[in-house]
């Protein structure tokens, strides 16, 4: 059974969002998503400065067998990228809500309200 922390919000493309305050949001993929992907061997997140759009691809995640798009759950500007995760893609599997975070977006604080809460995401993830 995959973990869905209650303090986070979620997108229907299986990213989690953490509210860091001041309109800044940290983003990664959910435990459910990493289970679907299998072993992640390559992570390419969006560079700081880039404008990302909610629901649009902004990077790539690759398992041994397949490449998948990484979607942004929010529209805004990337202000930080997890530089260490590129060299440690297995962190997305081992610690998707912690060391495996991918990028931070700055946007309007109200964006949070358009995301799924943990109960809604649980229903979506089919558990």
Summarize as ranges the residues that interact with other proteins (CB under 8 A): 35-36, 38-39, 41-42, 60, 62-67, 93
What minimum distance in Å lies between the beta carbon of 4 and other proteins? 18
Q: How crowded is residue 82: how many other Cβ atoms within 10 Å of its Cβ?
A: 20
63 vs 81 by CB, closer to other proteins: 63
4 vs 40 by CB, closer to other proteins: 40
What minimum distance in Å lies between the beta carbon of 25 and other proteins? 26
What minimum distance in Å lies between the beta carbon of 62 and other proteins? 5
20 vs 60 by CB, closer to other proteins: 60
Concatenate the DSSP letters of all residues of 10-63 into one string.
E-TTSEEEEEEETTEEEEEE-HHHHHHH-SEEEEEPPPTT-EE-TTSEEEEEEE
Q: How far apart are CA 47 and CA 104, in angstroms?
A: 10
Task: Tell me the sheet residues that pair with 69.
Answer: 60
73 vs 89 by CB, closer to other proteins: 89
What minimum distance in Å lies between the beta carbon of 38 and other proteins? 5
Q: How far apart are CA 85 and CA 26, in angstroms?
A: 14
């Amino acid at each position: 059974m995959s973990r869905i922390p209650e303090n986070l919000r979620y997108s229907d493309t299986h990213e989690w969002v953490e509210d860091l305050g001041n309109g800044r949001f940290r983003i990664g993929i959910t435990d459910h998503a990493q289970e679907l992907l299998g072993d992640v061997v390559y992570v390419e997140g969006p560079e700081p400065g880039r404008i990302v759009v909610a629901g649009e691809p902004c990077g790539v995640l690759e398992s041994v067998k397949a490449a998948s798009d990484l979607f942004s759950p929010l529209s805004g500007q990337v202000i930080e990228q997890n530089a260490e995760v590129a060299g440690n893609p297995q962190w997305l599997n081992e610690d998707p809500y912690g060391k495996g975070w991918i990028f931070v977006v700055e946007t309007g604080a109200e964006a949070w309200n358009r995301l799924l809460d943990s109960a809604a995401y649980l229903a979506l993830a089919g558990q």
